[in-house]
């Protein structure tokens, strides 16, 4: 599921300004025929048409582009409830739907009034009354629009994961997780010699015989459950809900800034997943494992072979 294509949700002021500007432009562009009274009537009706169409089409886009929660995989429902106020999001979408229906109703009502009006002053007063009620309607849902924009910005960072055999690469920042993803899945995710290069969940895919394996590179955790940011919360949920296999990347050299003891503490927290341990940075002399290392670890070649075996067993 890809949330990156969600369009920005504009504020009530931006929507109104755009609608009124477009209405003025459109009413001046059309060549109208008939008597002067009929022309004024048509111009006022066009303005109302354009304002209603401009705003309601924006609202319809919001209602269409936001995911229908009933059709979402359970993982994304849990992710939304973890990172958003799920009830407020649904309430805000309901408010947008209410405003769209109200604007349609007001448009029909005021176009009828203009058509029945007998003089230009009355027509313009009717238009002004419509403008006021339309503006009032939008202002009533301005907080809802702002919250939906917050939701959109959060959802835009959601990982695009699929329901399939999944490997999650996990560990502290700057231990070599993204480098491992690039080697396993032939991806080109960004790496650098400093922490927190990965600020979202990177996905790649590797082949094991006729099977495709999803490989997810989770952002570096700081093992601080009480202070997790949105990205860390997403990573933890992916780890618990999606991972059939966890590859824990261990930096024996401690060049990442995290001691072996600190990394071992994090490793113990996910032992329920029976992680495979991959030792990174072994190109450094101090990073080469020796007999004192208490865990069974894998070289890259051994790890790849083991992952392929596990994925084939899962398919069987």
Q: Which CATH number does the domain housing residue 94 bear?
A: 1.20.120.1190
Does 160 map to a domain?
no
How many angstroms separate the CA atoms of 295 and 277, rounded?
8
pLDDT at 67: 86
146/173 same-domain check: no
pLDDT at 191: 38
User: Which CATH number fits the domain that encloses residue 234?
Assistant: 3.40.50.300
105/46 same-domain check: yes
pLDDT at 4: 80
* 102, 134, 155 - which closes a domain: 155
When divided into structural domains, the chain yields a total of 2
Does 5 map to a domain?
no
Does 7 map to a domain?
no
69/20 same-domain check: yes
Query: The domain containing residue 254 runs over which residues?
Result: 166-315
205/172 same-domain check: yes
pLDDT at 176: 86
pLDDT at 315: 63
301 token code pair: 């070649």
Question: Could you read off the pLDDT of 229-269 as tens digits, one per residue?
Answer: 777 777 788 888 888 899 999 888 878 888 888 888 888 87
110/210 same-domain check: no
Does 1 map to a domain?
no
pLDDT at 285: 56
Secondary structure of the chain in HEC code, one letter for each residue: CCCCCCCCCCCHHHHHHHHHHHHHHHHHHCCCCCCHHHHHHHHHHHHHHHHHHHHHHHHHHHHHHCCCHHHCCHHHHHHHHHHCCHHHHHHHHHHHHHHHHHHHHHHHHHHHHHHHCCCHHHHHHHHHHHHHHHHHHHHHCHHHHHHHHHHHHHHCCCCCCCCCCEEEEECCCCCCHHHHHHHHHCCCCCCCCCCCCCCCCEEEEEEECCEEEEEEECCCCCCCHHHCCHHHHHHHHHHHHCCCEEEEEEECCCCCCCCHHHHHHHHHHCHHHCCEEEEECCCCHHHCCCCCCCCCEECHHHHHHHHHHHHHHHHC
Does 98 map to a domain?
yes
49/181 same-domain check: no
pTM of the shown model:
0.76
* 98, 130, 155 - which closes a domain: 155
Does 2 map to a domain?
no
Positions of the chain with pLDDT lower than 70, given as ranges? 1, 29-34, 36, 187-200, 220-228, 272, 281-289, 315-316
185/151 same-domain check: no
151/171 same-domain check: no
pLDDT at 277: 86
Does 49 map to a domain?
yes
198/300 same-domain check: yes
* 128, 155, 182 - which closes a domain: 155
137/225 same-domain check: no
Does 51 map to a domain?
yes
141/51 same-domain check: yes
150/26 same-domain check: yes
């Amino acid at each position: 599921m890809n949330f990156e294509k969600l369009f920005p949700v504009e504020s009530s002021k931006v929507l109104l300004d755009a609608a009124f500007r477009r209405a003025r432009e459109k009413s001046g562009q059309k060549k109208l025929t008939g008597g002067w009274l009929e022309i004024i009537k048509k111009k006022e009706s066009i303005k109302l048409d354009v304002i209603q169409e401009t705003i309601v089409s924006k609202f319809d886009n919001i209602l269409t582009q936001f995911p229908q929660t009933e059709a979402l995989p359970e993982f994304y429902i849990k992710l939304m409830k973890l990172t958003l106020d799920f009830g407020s999001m649904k309430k805000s979408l309901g408010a947008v739907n209410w405003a769209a229906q109200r604007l349609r109703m007001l448009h029909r009502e005021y176009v009828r009034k203009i058509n029945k009006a007998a003089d230009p002053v009355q027509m313009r007063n009717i238009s002004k009354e419509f403008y006021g009620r339309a503006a009032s309607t939008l202002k009533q849902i301005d907080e809802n629009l702002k919250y939906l924009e917050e939701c959109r910005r959060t959802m835009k960072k959601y990982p695009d994961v699929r329901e399939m055999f999944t490997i999650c690469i996990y560990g502290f920042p700057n231990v070599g997780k993204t480098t491992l993803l690039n080697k396993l899945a032939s991806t080109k995710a960004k790496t650098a010699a400093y922490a927190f290069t990965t600020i979202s969940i990177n996905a790649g895919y590797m082949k094991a015989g006729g099977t495709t394996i999803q490989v997810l590179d989770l952002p570096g955790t700081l093992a601080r459950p009480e202070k997790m940011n949105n990205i860390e919360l997403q990573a933890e949920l992916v780890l618990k809900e999606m991972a059939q296999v966890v590859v824990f990347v261990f930096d024996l050299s401690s060049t990442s800034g995290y001691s072996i003891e600190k990394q071992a503490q994090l490793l113990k927290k996910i032992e329920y997943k029976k992680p495979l341990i991959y030792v990174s940075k072994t190109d450094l002399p101090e990073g080469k494992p020796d007999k004192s290392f208490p865990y069974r670890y894998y070289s890259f070649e051994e790890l790849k072979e083991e992952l392929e075996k596990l994925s084939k067993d899962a398919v069987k």
